[in-house]
């Protein structure tokens, strides 16, 4: 807030701070909500080119499958609700077309009436997110090829499922979204093919762990086609893809194609405004989420982060990080002083019954970062054998031979994988060693663990190699 004072203490004019936010999903709404809490008087405006804001991107597979009760459930706030709760102006259907940093102006276009306008900001927060990478598809734009990024994408897929007689769907790309959608489609009683170019699904996982996931996918009747490249799609007269031809010669019949080969950060606006783009291709920001230009912040899937182990810039777009970064950007834009130090690339996904999680560096990444890294894989159980529903749990740890420090981990299990990955992420955050993992005083009772928790066992096993 700029308060113009003339003489003595007589305030004759108050100009409220104006904060503009480009993008209204995870980072954007977190930024707006936090900015409002920090600065009750600021004028805060969100420009969102889509029709919805504040929805849970991570919830879309559960909306599609019906695991989530309704579409409404994945929308945390409607624009009206958000405005009411946070006194933030929400302009949906408004695409920002240009940032002019010298005049502190954003130019926008209203998609409903085509009118354009501009907004003068004191502080700007860029939360433009990321977009799916869609490989070029031969021929016309097919009506049954989708990606899943926004709630509008999900709506289209749901419409297609409700409208047509689908029996077989193909997922191109076996990453996190590919895995979640394989489960979602299977719940809808569809035959599911997953086509992955790499040798294994979830290529950030070590091969041994990925094989456990693949076994589980097959047990759940997912057709896995790993190490397969698509040569050609072929369609019918209505413009729908009906067959996918693979390099191996296989032909996959399909009624719907979901492309989930990856996403790329939406940086065009920032780039054109002269904001520094980092080596990862995403917007470069510091711990305060400040970009290279004054009074412009950025957060979420469009920015890069710092890997807490290597100190290197990395781009790992995830909802939890977006949420935190948005909060930090919002707080700082509104006059506060917050930081987001970086990430460990921690992620988890549920693949049918399995929790599949990772954190830190892979063995390969650790070696590239200069560590003398080795891996330890153990099989343990989630809790005491005499308590019902004991389940196997697999842990893979990456350790530094020189110091014994844990650098990365993967955990897979039906129950308790999320717990162990979070303990290991906390351990890695603190540069703990294999021996520390044994020393940790974790909570034990028969329904929750075993007297020596799998995390302790991983540490003991690693210590033998030091």
User: How many residues of this chain bind its own copies (CB under 8 A)?
Assistant: 69
Q: Select 136 or 388, whichever has its Cβ closest to its own copies.
A: 388
Can you tell me the distance from the alpha carbon of 361 to that of 181, in angstroms, rounded to the nearest whole number? Answer: 26
Select the span of 201-209, 219-227, 314-322, 397-405 touching its own copies (CB under 8 A).
Answer: 314-322
Q: Is 422 a binder of its own copies (CB under 8 A)?
A: yes
Can you tell me the distance from the alpha carbon of 415 to that of 449, in angstroms, rounded to the nearest whole number? Answer: 10
Decide the pairing of beta strands 296-298 and 305-306: unpaired
302 carries an active-site annotation = no
Q: Select 248 or 320, whichever has its Cβ closest to its own copies.
A: 320
Give, for 272, the enclosing helix (H) or strand (E). Answer: helix 268-272
Can you tell me the distance from the alpha carbon of 463 to that of 444, in angstroms, rounded to the nearest whole number? Answer: 22
The terminus-to-terminus CA distance of the chain in angstroms comes to: 57
Give the residue ranges of DSSP H helices in 281-369. 319-333, 363-368
Q: Is 405 a binder of its own copies (CB under 8 A)?
A: no
Q: Is 436 a binder of its own copies (CB under 8 A)?
A: yes
Can you tell me the distance from the alpha carbon of 70 to that of 272, in angstroms, rounded to the nearest whole number? Answer: 39
With b for 16 or more beta-carbon neighbours within 10 A and e for fewer, the 340-373 pattern comes to: bebbbbbbbbbbbebbbbbbbbbbebbeebebeb
Residue ranges in 65-84 that form contacts with its own copies under rule CB under 8 A: 67-69, 73-74
Q: Is 6 a binder of its own copies (CB under 8 A)?
A: no
Which residues, 6+ apart, have CB-to-CB distance to 455 below 8 Å? Answer: 395, 420, 423, 424, 427, 437, 440, 442
Q: Select 113 or 337, whichever has its Cβ closest to its own copies.
A: 337
Angle, CA 206 vertex, CA 345 and CA 381 arms, to 5°? 90
Q: Select 228 or 415, whichever has its Cβ closest to its own copies.
A: 415
Can you tell me the distance from the alpha carbon of 381 to that of 200, in angstroms, rounded to the nearest whole number? Answer: 25
Angle, CA 167 vertex, CA 166 and CA 169 arms, to 5°? 85
What count of Cα atoms within 13 Å lies in the side-chain half-sphere of residue 202? 28
One residue of 279, 286, 320, 402 binding its own copies per CB under 8 A: 320
| CB 397 to its own copies: min, Å | 15
Select the span of 78-86, 202-210, 226-234, 440-448 touching its own copies (CB under 8 A).
Answer: 440-448
Select the span of 15-23, 40-48, 166-174, 379-387 touching its own copies (CB under 8 A).
Answer: 379-387
| CB 257 to its own copies: min, Å | 24
Q: Is 393 a binder of its own copies (CB under 8 A)?
A: no
Sketch the per residue contact string, 339 through 358, with its own copies: x for CB under 8 A, - otherwise: xxxxxxxxxxxx----x-x-
Catalytic residue among 38, 58, 160, 369: 58
Q: Select 203 or 446, whichever has its Cβ closest to its own copies.
A: 446
Q: Select 246 or 442, whichever has its Cβ closest to its own copies.
A: 442
Sketch the per residue contact string, 224 through 263, with its own copies: x for CB under 8 A, - otherwise: ----------------------------------------
Q: Residue 451 burial (CB < 10 Å; 0-12/13-18/19+)? A: exposed
Q: Is 14 a binder of its own copies (CB under 8 A)?
A: no
Binding site for its own copies (CB under 8 A): 26, 56, 58-59, 62-63, 67-69, 73-74, 308, 318-324, 327, 339-350, 355, 357, 359, 384-388, 416, 418-419, 421-423, 425-427, 429-430, 432, 436, 438-449, 451-453, 456
Active-site residues, by number, are 58
């Amino acid at each position: 807030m700029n308060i113009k004072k003339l003489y003595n203490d007589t305030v004759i004019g108050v100009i409220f701070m104006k904060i503009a936010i480009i993008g209204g999903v995870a980072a954007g709404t977190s930024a707006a909500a936090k900015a409002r809490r920090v600065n009750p008087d600021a004028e805060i405006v969100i420009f969102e080119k889509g029709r919805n804001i504040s929805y849970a991107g991570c919830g879309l597979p559960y909306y599609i499958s019906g695991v989530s009760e309704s579409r409404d459930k994945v929308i945390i706030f409607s624009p009206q609700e958000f405005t009411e709760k946070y006194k933030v102006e929400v302009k949906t259907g408004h695409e920002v077309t240009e940032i002019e940093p010298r005049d502190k102006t954003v130019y926008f276009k209203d998609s409903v009436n085509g009118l354009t306008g501009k907004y003068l900001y004191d502080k700007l927060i860029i939360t433009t997110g990321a977009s799916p990478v869609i490989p070029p598809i031969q021929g016309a734009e097919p009506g049954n090829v989708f990606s899943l990024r926004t709630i509008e994408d999900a709506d289209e897929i749901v419409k297609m499922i409700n409208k047509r007689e689908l029996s077989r769907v193909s997922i191109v790309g076996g990453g996190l979204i590919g895995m979640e959608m394989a489960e979602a489609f299977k719940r809808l009683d569809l035959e599911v093919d997953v086509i992955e170019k790499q040798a294994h699904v979830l290529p950030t996982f070590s091969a041994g762990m990925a094989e456990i996931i693949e076994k589980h996918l097959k047990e759940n009747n997912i057709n896995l086609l790993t190490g397969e490249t698509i040569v050609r799609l072929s369609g019918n007269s209505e413009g729908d893809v009906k067959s996918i031809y693979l390099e191996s010669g296989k032909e996959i019949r399909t009624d719907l194609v979901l492309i989930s080969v990856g996403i790329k950060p939406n940086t065009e606006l920032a780039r054109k405004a002269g904001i520094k783009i980092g080596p990862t291709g995403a917007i470069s920001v510091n711990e305060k989420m400040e970009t290279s230009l004054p009074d412009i912040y950025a957060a979420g899937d469009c920015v890069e982060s710092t890997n807490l182990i290597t100190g290197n810039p990395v781009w790992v777009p995830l909802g939890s990080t977006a949420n935190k970064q948005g909060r930090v950007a919002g707080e700082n834009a509104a006059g506060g002083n917050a930081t987001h130090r970086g990430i460990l690339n921690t992620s988890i996904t549920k693949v049918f019954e399995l929790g599949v999680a990772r954190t830190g560096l892979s063995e390969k990444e650790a070696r590239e970062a200069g560590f003398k890294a080795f891996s330890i894989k153990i099989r343990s159980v989630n809790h005491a054998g005499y308590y019902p529903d004991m389940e196997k749990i697999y842990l893979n740890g990456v350790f530094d031979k020189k110091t014994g420090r844990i650098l990365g981990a993967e955990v897979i299990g039906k129950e308790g994988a999320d717990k162990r990955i979070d303990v290991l992420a906390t351990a890695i955050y603190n540069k703990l060693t294999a021996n520390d993992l044994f020393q940790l005083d974790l909570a034990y009772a028969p329904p929750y663990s075993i007297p020596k928790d799998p995390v302790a066992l991983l540490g003991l096993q690693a210590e033998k190699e030091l």
